[in-house]
Amino acid sequence: MNDENFMREALRIARNAEGRTSPNPLVGAVVVKDGKIIAEGWHRQAGTPHAEIHALNMAGELAKGATLYVTLEPCSHFGRTPPCVNRIIESGIKRVVAAMKDPNPKVAGRGFEILKNAGVEVEVGLLEAEARRLNEVFLKFITEKLPFVTLKFASSLDGKIATYSGESQWISCEESRKFVHHLRDINDVILVGIGTVLADNPSLTTRLVEGKNPIRVIVDSNARTPLDSKVMADKSARTIIAVTKNAPSEKISALKACGVEILICGEEKRVDLKILLEKLAKREITSILVEGGGQIHFSMLKSGLVDKIYAFIAPKIIGGKNSLTAVEGIGFEKLSEAITLKKFTSERIGEDFLLSGYVKEDFNWK
């Protein structure tokens, strides 16, 4: 095996903790000696040992003179855990191959500098594009102080997400719905508008074995969320309701009494979505899955807040000018204003097609 193969293994094992390390990045580490992997490790959860520490603990004395492959620059500061660079130097590692520099200002090349000054060979940039894709959520959060936003919808061939009577279960196939629960599992937050709550009364939880329920965020300008709705009654996940300053105080008090958190986001008729995202970021929320209706989808897109889109297209035609569509609102006036996905891909999932891509050109947050 060569350097690239060892780094691909580090990238692969880093995904073992997908959705579990927020607000930290996904990191994998592989220790190689005499051309063979002798130890591996990955970061499992914020506040626990980093990938390098797990790998070095496994390697023990064999780490002396070995090469460490790591998907992100080793940390050089005291956070919830001690600096990894100190342990790497103490272990006797001879060479460190890293996929990319850590954009966190607390690190940002300092880890490499400390290693070099201690006589450790350092190489940076191997499979950097793949490493950036792996940590697109962390990279946006650490550089822009905003969560990474993924918008998901399931529609018919003619773009409908429900019939004219409002029936929507189920447009997509079982395999697609299972993938959606995977998306919920790996995101910190699932966000919908009040229209979805009133129309469907969803639980917004993850139906996967050992799945993680995301925090539920309801965009509800006037605090209309019913007190007996599932997002209020089901305590298996936190619920946050975003309202405006004009929302009736008695309704806010009633919602708070049910144990939900209220965020006041703006003084106009509608919730200011940028303010909402800023407030969520301050709570160390790094990723959001938007699963609302056409209005909230358009509002998020029009505000430039969406980073990535997953569109599940079922081989069905629903029709009807009054049937609900995936993106509503006023729409874009000119075709030149229409959003064109970058790095666009398509794949078959069961009976459906999954189309995905990035809204912004700089999807790797370089």
The residues annotated as belonging to the active site are 52
* Dist CA 333 CA 350 (whole Å): 35
B/e letters for 299-313, b = 16+ CB within 10 Å, e = fewer, are: bbbbeebbbbbbbbb
How crowded is residue 123: how many other Cβ atoms within 10 Å of its Cβ?
13
For the chain, the residue count is 366
* Dist CA 196 CA 194 (whole Å): 5
Residues 6+ apart with CB under 8 A from 226: 197, 198, 201, 232
Amino acid identity, residue 310?
Y
**Bridge-partner residues for 238, per DSSP?**
none
* Dist CA 78 CA 87 (whole Å): 13
DSSP letter, residue 26: P
Structural contact between residues 318 and 165, judged by C-beta atoms closer than 8 angstroms: no
* Dist CA 354 CA 102 (whole Å): 32
* Dist CA 196 CA 361 (whole Å): 30
Structural contact between residues 296 and 198, judged by C-beta atoms closer than 8 angstroms: no
Instruction: Give CA separation, 135 vs 25, 89, 195, 298, 314, in Å.
Output: 6, 26, 32, 26, 30
- Side-chain-side CA neighbours of residue 47 (13 Å): 2
**Tokens representing residue 10 in the block:** 């580090």
